Chains A and B, each alone.
Chain A
Amino acid sequence: MMKIFHESSTILFNRHVQNWKTGGGKVVGYTCSYVPDEIFYAAGILPYRLRGVGAREMNIADAYFGPFICSLPKCLLQLASEGKYHFLEGVVVTPGCDSMRRLDDCWRKAGEDITETLPSFFFHYAVPHKTADYSLKWFIEETHLLKCAVEKHFNVTITDAQLHNAIDIYNEGRLLLSRLDALRCATDVAISGADALAVVLASTTMPRKAFNSLLMDLIAQIEANTDRITGRKRLMLVGSANDDVELVRLIEGNEALIVADNLCFGARFYADLVEPEDDPVAALAKRYLFHNDCPRMFGDYKGRLSILKEKIKRAAVDGVILQNIRFCDLHGSENGIFERDLETAGIPCLRIEREYGPLVETGRIRMRIDAFLERLEK
């Protein structure tokens, strides 16, 4: 059963997306966990979290991006320019961080140079960097603008009822993913970090109802099965976006398990439900702006630290891997303070810098992980 999730998490144009397109469905890609999937679900569009999986070269991306840029938006641009995102009818870019924000500029420019690179619907979704009453007001308006733009471009009407329904479906998925989370961080671990990541990644590419159904089956299967993984070091993975199952597998090896994370392609994606209220757009805006946040929400370090400490306790974590993509200063720097405060609290940490893209330098990473696990052996 895990094969379905792994396939969906490693192949861009996976069979679920293919079936969707064959059925006449439309797909809109988005760059960041702050974009409300529910808007697209309600419009009958498949929301698809953009990933750089499969990018092998950077020759096109490097023509637009400068050298001191995180490799994640570069991979996205490379794939788009190679036509690998041919199945998208639209893209939503957010100012997740400066590098991702400039994907907007570079993608449009590449679209002028290379045909069929730029989808016809291209929306800049201005997510604020703070949580205040006026920034919520802005974000509610921005979400209305997104909704209206989708309606206009795709010639659909998104009713409140449809949005409420979408919220229910996605909340159901969040609750299921939280149940999987509990299985993952139990004393006797039921699912590896690599498999858990594959499940979360699949949720970002598949129609949500189908995903919910598959996940329910998987959870039932796991709960019925008594096989558990024991005797390994329990690690938590924190930091920059990671959608690479092989990286998690590399870290886990035979000696460790990622039993918890605070990643945007991981726990942060499904943390916090949309709380029901009369205005579904406002409900969405509140959840997405105030949910388990990212260092792009400047000034909330203490909040994020307490989330990590709570997870460490709940999952009985032995050590924390603080990783960042090179040039990711937001995660990279915050990892530095996490390390200081977690080590002071007696929680061993390892900081790793890596590239996003094809998994390379496995030897270098492996050496650091081995040394860290040997340190934990005391």
Chain B
Amino acid sequence: MRKELKEYPFDWMLWRAFAAAARLKAGSEKEYRQAVNQIPYFRGALDAIYGIGEPGRLLLEMVAEYFEKIIHAEKRGQKTAITTFCFSPAVFYALDIVPITLEMMTVAMGATYKRGTADFLDYCNEVGFTETSCSSQRGSLGAYLAGNGVTIDMVVCDSPGVCDTNVNAFAFASAYLDKPFFQLNMPPDLIAARSTEYHRADYRALIDFLEEQTGRKLDTAKLRRILEEVVRQDLLMAELEELQILVPNPLPVTFNLLIYAGRFLYAGMPQCTKLLESMLAIGRENAGRNQSGLSSGREKLRGFFCYIDHYGQDFRLWQLLDRMDISYHGNILSKMWSQDAHYVKAFDRQKEGYKIDTTDLDTLIDSISDLNSRMPMIKSIRGPYDAPHMWLQDTLALAKLHKADFIVYNGTPGCRNTWGMVKPFARDTEKNGFPTLILYSDAFDMRVESWETTASRIEEFLKVRRLCS
């Protein structure tokens, strides 16, 4: 690893960068412009984020605070846990554990640094991790393996049965750093009684593990407050996503990212609620005026991303979509499957959704277990793609509900579970009338395919399929 990277811990650097970014609009516009000229590789992302107004500022503050908690965890007597985006952090907050969500760290660094997380991706390979593994965890994991971040106290994930390459990163970290490890294991079915029983037994074992690691007992009142906040967030998200369905879509393209960023970082915490409320205010206002959320005000196309977004340097995907007047209609990451979600109600799929029951500790644990087993990817990638309640059914239902003009699959070459079936999947979505683009890029590593090439492939697809001229 280049020695200059070792001079400051990478998570500390991210904290300082986002803390500074969150204050950029405190001065005049001229001061803002002069400041961002100093950060050519983060400028575009900041312009896009600040361009949406208050939610953008809240996002930056929220991310900065997230890193601040990580940096000061040890000093405050808190344990840290590296985890994955598809594991709800609500239980960590209930036990005063500071979560470090690797994929979010990778995205944050990819958005701010010229080379993204390239050095840390490579460092993982240097210490024996396969280069064919997913880059989403690998990007920030490399820093922690190199001792270039805070001390990790434990490793927790919920992807076995859903995504091997995801859990493999955590298993590797645990073995390499010799840290306690816990995995929630998902059966291939979601709603059968034995699956629910399994989820709940597994989750209770998780709580035992976390209590053992922290020396604390799960506080019922605290968990209740957190899950009540989750319910508030679910209702806000439901309304936001109902607005997304409107023609034109009144939400700016970046809003979907903010929805899942908020939940992945702060499920059950007021920071996420505040962000969602701020976004909803803009969404309602635009909807009231029948106005598109796109900068131009003209919606030409509606795009549905069936998997994840592309987090290339400077958030250029969102800039591309906005420039081409393509409204953004969601991806797998923003769907949490609460029973209050509009897509659950619209298709009468209550069994697939979770409901929070705050009666007592048992029902709280059952609720959070159900919530967790419906997290993005955990819910729908676990079983055969064409099985009921799984990925194809969800994609088609959502794309239809949102009146999507096309579907895009974007992931990473390390995504074994989707590359194992994305071709038949795309064949099925095409058969159902949705032009479907499979991108071969890496959402987190521009060295696999440069953004320029990826962008040209998106534009080429839209032209060839006569979706745009």
Query: In the complex, A340→B175 CA distance in Å?
Result: 11
Q: In the assembled complex, which residues on chain B have CB atoms less than 8 Å from the CB atom of A130?
A: 160, 183, 185
Q: Which residues of A (66-102) have their CB < 8 Å from a CB of B?
A: 66-70, 73, 95, 97-99, 101-102
Choice from B164, B171, B413, B440 contacting A98 with Cβ under 8 Å = B164
Q: Which of B130-161 contact A (CB under 8 A)?
A: 130, 132-133, 160-161
* Contacting residue for B128 out of A124, A299, A333, CB 8 A: A333
B164-221 interface with A by 8 A CB criterion: 164-165, 167-168, 170-172, 174-176, 181-183, 185, 187-189, 194, 197-198, 201-202, 205
The answer to whether A68 and B172 touch across the interface, beta carbons within 8 angstroms, is no
Given contacts A64-B421, A128-B185, contact A298 B160 (CB under 8 A): yes
Contact of B385 among A70, A99, A105, A132 (CB under 8 A): A105
**A124 CA / B202 CA spacing, docked (Å):** 22
> Which chain B residue lies CB-closest to A302?
B175
Please report the C-alpha to C-alpha distance between residue A171 and residue B368 in the assembled complex, in whole angstroms.
43
Does residue B386 face the partner (Cβ distance < 8 Å to A)? yes
Decide if A333 touches B202 in the complex (CB within 8 Å): no
Q: Is the CB of A98 within 8 A of B165?
A: yes
Other-chain contact of A64, B130, B171, B194, B423 (Cβ < 8 Å): B423
The residues of B that contact A67 with a CB separation of less than 8 Å are 413, 419, 440
Name A68's contact: one of B129, B160, B416 (CB within 8 Å). B416
Residue pair A337, B175 in contact (C-beta under 8 Å): yes
**Interface range on chain A (Cβ under 8 Å from partner):** 35 or more
Assess A299 versus B185: contact at CB under 8 Å? Given A102-B417, A130-B160, A333-B130.
Answer: no
Residues of B within 8 A of A (CB): 127-130, 132-133, 160-161, 163-165, 167-168, 170-172, 174-176, 181-183, 185, 187-189, 194, 197-198, 201-202, 205, 384-386, 413-424, 440
* Contact A134 to B201, CB < 8 A, known contacts A126-B188, A324-B130, A333-B130: yes
Asked, given contacts A126-B188, A130-B183, A298-B167, whether A69 binds B128 with beta carbons under 8 Å apart, the answer is no
**A106 contacts partner chain B, Cβ-Cβ < 8 Å:** yes
Known interface pairs A68-B414, A95-B188. Does A336 touch B160 (Cβ–Cβ under 8 Å)? no
Contact B424 A329 (CB under 8 A): no
Closest Cβ of chain B to A32, distance in Å, is 14
In contact, B181 and A69 (Cβ under 8 angstroms): no
| CA–CA, A336 and B408, complex, Å | 35
For the A-B complex with A65-B419, A98-B417, A105-B386 known, give 7 more contacts whose Cβ atoms are closer than 8 Å: A65-B421, A68-B413, A73-B420, A126-B187, A298-B170, A302-B175, A334-B175
Which of B172, B194, B386, B421 is packed against the most chain A CB atoms within 10 Å? Answer: B421
Cross-chain contact of B132 among A68, A132, A334 (Cβ < 8 A): A68
Complex Cα gap A264–B172 (Å): 21
Whether A301 is near chain B, meaning CB under 8 Å from some CB there, is yes
Known: A66-B422, A68-B416, A298-B160. A138 touches B183 (CB 8 A): no
5 contacts between A and B (CB under 8 A): A65-B423, A99-B420, A129-B160, A295-B168, A334-B171
Does A66 contact B423, Cβ atoms closer than 8 Å?
A: yes
Chain B proximity of A257: nearest CB distance (Å): 26
Contacts of B423 on A, CB cut-off 8 Å?
63-66
**Is A310 part of the binding interface, using a Cβ–Cβ cutoff of 8 Å?**
no
Q: A68-B414, A68-B419 are in contact. Are A327 and B185 (CB under 8 A)?
A: no
B198 touches A101 (CB 8 A): no
Q: Does residue A335 face the partner (Cβ distance < 8 Å to B)?
A: yes
Complex: how many Å from CA A340 to CA B414? Answer: 23
Q: Is the CB of B172 within 8 A of A299?
A: no
Task: Contact check, B128 vs A336: say whether CB atoms are below 8 A apart.
Answer: yes
Q: Which residues of A contact B176 (CB under 8 A)?
A: 337, 340
Chain B nearest CB from A144 CB (Å) reads 11
> Which of A65, A135, A336 makes the CB contact (< 8 A) with B130?
A336
Query: Which residues of B lie under 8 Å from residue A99 when comparing CB positions?
Result: 416, 420
Known: A68-B414, A333-B128, A337-B175. Is A134-B202 also a contact (CB below 8 A)?
A: yes
Q: How far is the CA of A126 from the CA of B382 in the complex (A)?
A: 11
Given A95-B188, A138-B198, residue A329 in contact with residue B133 (CB < 8 A): yes
A108-159 interface (Cβ within 8 A of B): 108-109, 124, 126, 128-130, 132, 134-135, 138, 141
Distance to closest chain A CB from B410 (angstroms): 13
Shortest beta-carbon distance from B6 to chain A in Å: 20
Given contacts A64-B421, A66-B420, A66-B423, contact A336 B127 (CB under 8 A): yes
Contact A65/B420 with A95-B161, A126-B187 known, Cβ cut-off 8 Å:
yes
Determine the chain A residues whose CB is within 8 A of the CB of B416 once the complex forms.
68-70, 97-99, 102, 327, 329
Cα A66 to Cα B175 in complex, Å, equals 30
Give the distance in Å from the alpha carbon of A102 to the alpha carbon of B419 in the complex.
9
Contacts of B182 in A (CB 8 A): 299
Closest to B127 in A: A336
Q: A99-B420, A124-B188, A333-B130 are in contact. Are A301 and B175 (CB under 8 A)?
A: yes
Asked whether A301 lies within 8 Å of B171 as measured between CB atoms, the reply is yes
Q: Which of B129, B163, B416 has the most CB of A within 10 A?
A: B416
A299-B174 in contact (CB<8A) = yes
Least distance between A299 CB and chain B CB atoms (Å): 4
* Chain A residues whose C-beta falls within 8 Å of the C-beta of B128 in the assembled complex: 333, 335-337, 339-340
A104 at the A/B interface (Cβ < 8 Å)? yes
6 interchain residue pairs of minimum CB distance? A336-B128, A102-B420, A66-B419, A129-B160, A301-B175, A134-B201
Are A124 and B384 in contact (CB-based, < 8 A)? yes
CA distance A326 to B415 in the complex (A): 14
Complex alpha-carbon distance, A295 and B187, angstroms? 18
State how many angstroms separate the Cβ of B320 from the closest Cβ of chain A: 24
Does A332 lie at the interface of the complex (its beta carbon under 8 Å from any beta carbon of B)?
yes
Give CA–CA (A68, B170) in the complex, Å.
Answer: 21
Neighbouring A residues of B163 by C-beta, 8 Å: 98
Question: Which B residue sits closest to A93, measured CB to CB?
Answer: B384
Bound complex: CA A130 to CA B183 (Å) = 8
Contacts of A283 in B (CB 8 A): none
Complexed CA–CA distance, A327 and B420 (Å) = 11
- Least CB separation from B131: chain A residue: A332
Contact A329 B165 (CB under 8 A): yes
A53 to B25, CA, bound (A): 64
**Distance (whole angstroms) from the CB of B48 to the closest CB of chain A:** 30
Q: Which residue of A lies closest to B162 (CB)?
A: A98
**Contacts A124-B384, A301-B175 given: A69-B420 contact, CB under 8 Å?**
yes
How close is B182's CB to chain A, nearest CB, in angstroms? 8
Q: From residue A348, how far is it (CB to closest CB) to chain B in Å?
A: 16
Residues on A with beta carbons closer than 8 Å to the beta carbon of B171: 295, 298-299, 301, 334
| Binary per-residue interface labels of chain A (288-320) against chain B in the complex, 1 for a CB within 8 Å, 0 otherwise | 000000011011011000000000000000000
User: A299 contacts which of B132, B181, B421 (Cβ < 8 Å)?
Assistant: B181
Residue of B nearest to A326 (CB): B132
Residues from chain B with Cβ under 8 Å of A134 in the complex? 197-198, 201-202, 205
How far, in whole Å, are A141 and B384 apart by their CA atoms in the complex?
20
**Does A330 sit at the interface, judged by CB under 8 A?**
yes
**Shortest beta-carbon distance, A86 to chain B, in Å?**
23
> How near does chain B come to A320, taking the closest CB pair, in angstroms?
14
Of A66, A126, A336, A340, chain B has the most CB atoms within 10 Å of the CB of A66
In the complex, what's the smallest C-beta–C-beta distance from B244 to chain A, in angstroms? 29
Residues of A within 8 A of B172 (CB): 333-334, 336-337
Least distance between A61 CB and chain B CB atoms (Å)? 11
